[in-house]
Amino acid sequence: MKHIFSIICLVAFSFLSTHMTAQDDLINKIKGNQSATSKFTFTKVHDIEATSIKDQGSSGTCWSYSTVSFLESEMVRMGKKPIDLAEMFIVRNQYIDKAENYVRMHGGLLYGQGGAAHDVINMYGKYGMLPQSVYNGLNYGTTRNNFNELEAVLKGFLTPLIGDDVKMLTPVWKTAFTRIVDTYLGEVPAKFMYEGKEYTPKTFADQVVGLKAEDYVELSSFNTSPFYTKTTLMVPDNWSYDQVYNVPMNDLTAIVDNAVKNGYSVTWGTDVSDRGFSWKNGVAYNLPMEFETMTEEQKANIFAGPQPEGAATQEERQKMFDNYLTTDDHGMQITGLYTDQNGKEYYKVKNSWGVKNDQEGYLYVTKNFLKLKTTALLLHKDGIPKDIRTKCKI
């Protein structure tokens, strides 16, 4: 046992000395994509009630924040009182289930902080839910998420379990791993009180949240599989090998338009390292030309106000995905449809990086950007147009 924990400590120390969380790295990558004199005016066409903007801190848990926010909006849509749900309860359960797959695959999948929207639905369906007031995941002395040490320790623990020289695992490795997770994020209460009633995580999900995991579906668009069939979502964070409905690119915006116009929000997985994405300005669009071919004046003004936009095609979308120009960077929640001062339509998108940008925590995204850069959409099946549902046999 001493030998194992020596390995853990060495690996963790090495990892911590060079590691920057995915969240910190991502924000640093996109700091340059901004303009100091942004001049956009957005007007509401459709808006969906969303809960308050959160800050995921130094943690790569956008997938949980965006989809938990989506569940909160779903409660509002169903006429329920919105509740601040516990993102870290979902993260806690995903980290443990992912570790089991990681060991079974002999380390042959990505083990990190990331995840996907379907992870939240899967964990909700399997383990239930807790309110934030019962489980905030801050059991390690901070008031804001910081997963630098946690990720290093978890990966350090798993490393000795997946080597070629491992002949047989002890029956307690998962128990030991779970105790590490719970030391950092907190133990899950078997029962708890909420507004004068006693619940378990499962009864709270069933009786208070009241959403059915089987009602939610995920979609994307790839040339590599037949349209209107299911295909595995080929992104590194899909540790559970979940499948999505594969639809033509133009169906992505048809789905979001139909959803938003009928009161359904959407969880959106996307690439935010693109030059057309500016968190500071709260705008994302498809640049009309390669950034490298722009003049210095054009580069300085790409977010100064509405600009010409490049076209979006199915072939270009696939090419960008295949060449790592579209990567599965970030998850957010689509909560509305707006127009700019020229009448161009944008989706209003709720982020989880706090409120310190020009749009107070939100982002406005063009339809062409969404077509090209979406890795997956997740929403209630009833938000999908009937013709697409019929073709997909949903």
Going by their DSSP bridges, the two strands 243-246 and 43-47 should be labelled as unpaired
> pTM of the prediction?
0.92
Q: Is the dihedral of CA 24, 25, 28, 32 positive or negative?
A: negative
Identify the domain containing residue 382 by its residue range. Answer: 2-392
- Residues 381 and 107: their CA atoms lie apart, in Å, by 34
Contacts of 127 (CB under 8 A, 6+ apart): 89, 93, 201, 202
Chain mean pLDDT for the chain: 92
Alpha helices in 159-294, H assignment, sequence order:
173-185, 201-204, 249-261
**pLDDT exceeds cutoff 60 at 355:** yes
**What's the first-to-final CA gap in the chain, in angstroms?**
50
- Residues 178 and 186: their CA atoms lie apart, in Å, by 10
* 56-98 per-position pLDDT tens digit: 999 999 999 999 999 999 999 999 999 999 999 999 999 999 9
Query: Residue 124: which pLDDT band, with cuts at 50, 70 and 90?
Result: very high
Residue for token pair 């949980």: 64
Two tokens, residue 298: 């054009």
- Residues 315 and 345: their CA atoms lie apart, in Å, by 23
Is 21 in contact with 58 (CB distance < 8 Å)?
yes
Question: For position 276, which CATH number holds?
Answer: 3.90.70.10
- Residues 53 and 24: their CA atoms lie apart, in Å, by 18
- Residues 120 and 162: their CA atoms lie apart, in Å, by 26
Q: What is the per-residue pLDDT for 253? A: 98
Contacts of 187 (CB under 8 A, 6+ apart): none
The C-alpha angle 77, 333, 312, rounded to 5 degrees, equals 120
Query: Once rounded to an integer, what is the mean pLDDT over residues 346-360?
Result: 97
What is the number of domains present in the chain?
1
Is 232 in contact with 102 (CB distance < 8 Å)?
no
